[in-house]
Amino acid sequence: MGKKIAVIGAGNGGTAIAGDLTLAGHECRLFEFEQWAGNVNAIVEKGGIKVTGIAHTGFAKIALATTDLGAAVDGAELIMVATQALTHTLVAEALAPLVRSGQIIILWPGSGGSLEMRRVFDQKGVTADVILAEGATLPYCCRRLEGPGTVNIHRIDGPHNYVAALPAMRTPDVMNALDGVYDTVVPATSILEPALYNPNILVHPAGALFNMGRIEFSKGDFWMYKEGITPSVKKIIDGMDCERQAIMSRLGYAPKTYDQVFTDLFKVTVAEFAVASSKGPFTMKDRYITEDIPMGVTFTASLGRKLGIPTPTYDAIIHIGSLINDTDYYSIGRNLRNLGLEDWSGEQLIAYVMTGKRP
């Protein structure tokens, strides 16, 4: 029997989730905020979503496409958030008065966003027993090649998309809820593990920043995975990877390398992925910079500072990205200070993500 699933965000990822899972027999309601209403208006006009590629394909007549969040999440067992991480705060503020006990909210991906949602829920006085969780990446590689109301799924991610609940003691509940929905997910130690395993945080900023001349000169005629991940750029990614692994070791996890994680998530090597990769990024204002640095790179660097692990390569990425876009990405980004966790010790933070108990 299918599940009732609300999907927040009607971009590439949200459209893929709603379309694929509808065709798999689930009841999906797709929500988008008013400022991006065009994403769902096209679906309403067409009566559903045209899904092509390698997943469940066909015309998905989803249960609802709406800008009414209350209608989307009412009675939903699973609430899947597929927005950019930059909007996690907005999503949490909108959900706070609507969520009910027993619902599970999953961020695809999270990059530590479950900590941000918990901060907002606590500020708003949410008392409902809601489980927050996050995955390492979207369940699909996908693009709306023909515009809103369509989606092409060219890869289903797995076999190891790491997922954990906040607190980790609730992860078994999340895994049970995802049974029959996404069977390639695997439980992680805590939400810090999928947050640190999001491969975009390493490859996107380095690949964009160290090809900025090519991107700007070509006016976006650029294929990052095909031409931008040269041996020298890969050394920068590997430098970030070594720092990330040191953080994970300090947390008590058994870290995998970037290349191992990439293959686990996408079932192909980085070189094989490049063959069918999409064009871009097109400017230095692309999400590869404006999302992945403040929402991911800063979070990892912040963890490093708390745990006493030097992160010079992460710090350099933050500094260069901030410089070219005239924005202090660390101060505005997702870091332990902005999450309200700066005064905790590393041990207290580790205990919190496992048990949910504040020191």
CA-closest candidate to residue 207, choices 132, 257, 270: 270
pLDDT mean over 79-85:
97
pLDDT value of position 156:
74
Q: Percent of the chain beyond pLDDT 90?
A: 80
pLDDT value of position 268:
66
In this structure, are residues 329 and 316 in contact, taking their beta carbons and an 8 Å threshold?
no
pLDDT value of position 225:
85
- SS (HEC) of 191-247: CHHHHHHCCHHHHHHHHHHCCHHHHHHHCCCCEHHHHHCCHHHHHHHHHHHHHHHHH
What is the rounded CA–CA span in Å between residue 298 and residue 310?
13
Residue 271 φ/ψ, nearest 5 degrees: -65, -40
In this structure, are residues 265 and 239 in contact, taking their beta carbons and an 8 Å threshold?
no
**Coil, helix or strand for 116?**
helix
Residue for token pair 């092509």: 52
> Residue 71 burial by CB count (10 A; 0-12/13-18/19+): exposed, middle or buried?
middle
Residue 109: is the preceding peptide bond cis (ω within 30°)?
yes
pLDDT value of position 220:
82
Q: How confident is the model at residue 157 (pLDDT cuts 50, 70, 90)?
A: low
What is the rounded CA–CA span in Å between residue 241 and residue 29?
38
Query: Is the per-residue pLDDT at 264 higher than 80?
Result: no
What is the rounded CA–CA span in Å between residue 189 and residue 231?
32
What is the pLDDT of the chain when averaged over all its residues? 93
Query: Is the per-residue pLDDT at 147 higher than 90?
Result: no
CA-closest candidate to residue 162, choices 203, 200, 133, 193: 193
In this structure, are residues 230 and 286 in contact, taking their beta carbons and an 8 Å threshold?
no
In this structure, are residues 30 and 72 in contact, taking their beta carbons and an 8 Å threshold?
yes
Which of 14-28, 72-86, 114-128, 219-233 bottoms out in mean pLDDT, i.e. has the lowest? 219-233
What is the rounded CA–CA span in Å between residue 38 and residue 157?
27
pLDDT value of position 93:
99
CATH number of 4-195: 3.40.50.720
Q: How confident is the model at residue 4 (pLDDT cuts 50, 70, 90)?
A: very high
pLDDT mean over 323-338:
98
pLDDT digits (tens, 9 = 90+) for 22-73: 999 999 999 999 999 999 999 999 999 999 998 889 999 999 999 999 999 9
pLDDT value of position 275:
63
Host H or E run for residue 275: helix 270-275
pLDDT value of position 89:
98
Q: How confident is the model at residue 332 (pLDDT cuts 50, 70, 90)?
A: very high
Q: Spell out the domain ranges in the chain.
A: 4-195, 199-353
pLDDT mean over 259-270:
73
Residue for token pair 């929402």: 295
pLDDT value of position 276:
65
C-alpha separations of 36 from 42, 138, 146, 204, 280 in Å: 11, 20, 17, 24, 22
What is the rounded CA–CA span in Å between residue 207 and residue 332?
22
Residue 154 φ/ψ, nearest 5 degrees: -105, 0
Q: Which of 40-44, 78-82, 252-256 has the highest mean pLDDT?
A: 78-82
Query: Is the per-residue pLDDT at 143 higher than 90?
Result: no
What contacts 209, CB < 8 A, 6 or more positions away?
Answer: 289, 317, 320, 321, 324
pLDDT value of position 267:
66
pLDDT value of position 258:
85
The tokens of 267 are what?
A: 């079932």
pLDDT digits (tens, 9 = 90+) for 311-330: 999 999 999 999 999 999 99
Does domain 199-353 fall under CATH 3.90.1150.10? My reply is no
Query: Is the per-residue pLDDT at 202 higher than 70?
Result: yes
Query: Side-chain half-sphere of 22: how many Cα atoms within 13 Å?
Result: 25
Query: Is the per-residue pLDDT at 271 higher than 70?
Result: no
pTM: 0.94
pLDDT value of position 321:
98
